[in-house]
Amino acid sequence: MTEQRRVLLLTHPGRAPARDVACQLVDALSGHGLQVRMLPDEAIALDLADNVHVELAGNGDPSADCELVVVIGGDGTILRAAELAHDSGTPLLGVNLGHVGFLAEAEYDDVSATIDAIVERRYTAEDRLTIDVSVFREGELVWRTFALNEASVEKAARERMLEVVVEVDGRPLSRWGCDGVVCATPTGSTAYNFSAGGPVVWPGVEALLMVPISAHALFARPLVVAPTSVLAVEVIAPADASGVLWCDGRRSVELPPGARIEVRRGERPVRLVRLHEAPFTDRLVAKFGLSVEGWRGASERRLRGEGRA
């Protein structure tokens, strides 16, 4: 007996095209014998709860026994999907309805080609490095989570700076009065890390990043460290200047003075589906609308006989 193929469909119901794309995916995939599963609240919001081709997720991991999680939305929706599918390791395929959509692989106006790729299994999955984040108070572990993009330590009050000491591999590095500190992955280097002035790191590079936000210090530069390193941020003063830790902009915990945050390479990667073999450079150019006018490239120079000794 042939094993039932199943995909989990996650959407951003608040976006206008989401229902049209979701309906198109449900009809096409079910027509090819795939079972489509949805979260009950999303199915209700999109008027798909009574669709005979939609299976409503029950208790437990909604991505369990699914070959893919198809995500309709922007990067925020994909980060939510990464949270849901983290334990199962189910690959994520993003259909972009957002603006930049760095994590998405497909655009909503090319859904037909995406459907064909899913049906014919013409896709690959690449592992993206994550970070595991732990929060300690008075030496006791009080909170733990993971992040695909970043963990950001931020000041809780707009009018007060946060005073922190940062540490790498068990040794203190510098003390900063700042608005915050971003600890990011290469995948997250084009997100908050980018806005904070950190470097863009190609996804194939295994590294951890630390970037201060508006730091008042002599040494306050972005850092790129080994994937085996452990980064730490300690909130030290003043007594009324507490902070908050955000992971992927989705999960947060308060940080009173004395709190310690440790960031290390995650035990589980997140798997992102790729439909094309386009270089990351091309993705940067397309997503950021970068100008490359005047570029001729090495192949054209060789044709013209340039660059020869």
* Tens digit of each residue's pLDDT (9 = 90 or more) over 178-211: 999 999 999 999 999 999 999 999 999 999 999 9
Rounded to the nearest integer, the mean pLDDT of the chain is 92
75 as an active site residue: the answer is yes
pLDDT for the residue numbered 300: 56
In the predicted model, is pLDDT for residue 264 greater than 90?
yes
- What is the mean pLDDT of the segment spanning 149-156? 95
Geometric angle at alpha carbon 92, from 89 and 94, rounded to 5°: 165
- What is the mean pLDDT of the segment spanning 287-292? 92
6-128 homologous superfamily:
Probable inorganic polyphosphate/atp-NAD kinase; domain 1 (3.40.50.10330)
Strand order in the sheet with 140-147: 140-147, 131-137, 260-265, 231-237, 162-168, 171-178
Residues 20, 75, 132, 282: which is the catalytic one? 75
Instruction: Please state the pTM of the whole predicted model.
Output: 0.91
Q: Of the given ranges (84-98, 263-277, 294-308), which has the lowest mean pLDDT?
A: 294-308
131-265 homologous superfamily:
Probable inorganic polyphosphate/atp-NAD kinase; domain 2 (2.60.200.30)
Per domain, the residue ranges of the chain are: 6-128, 131-265
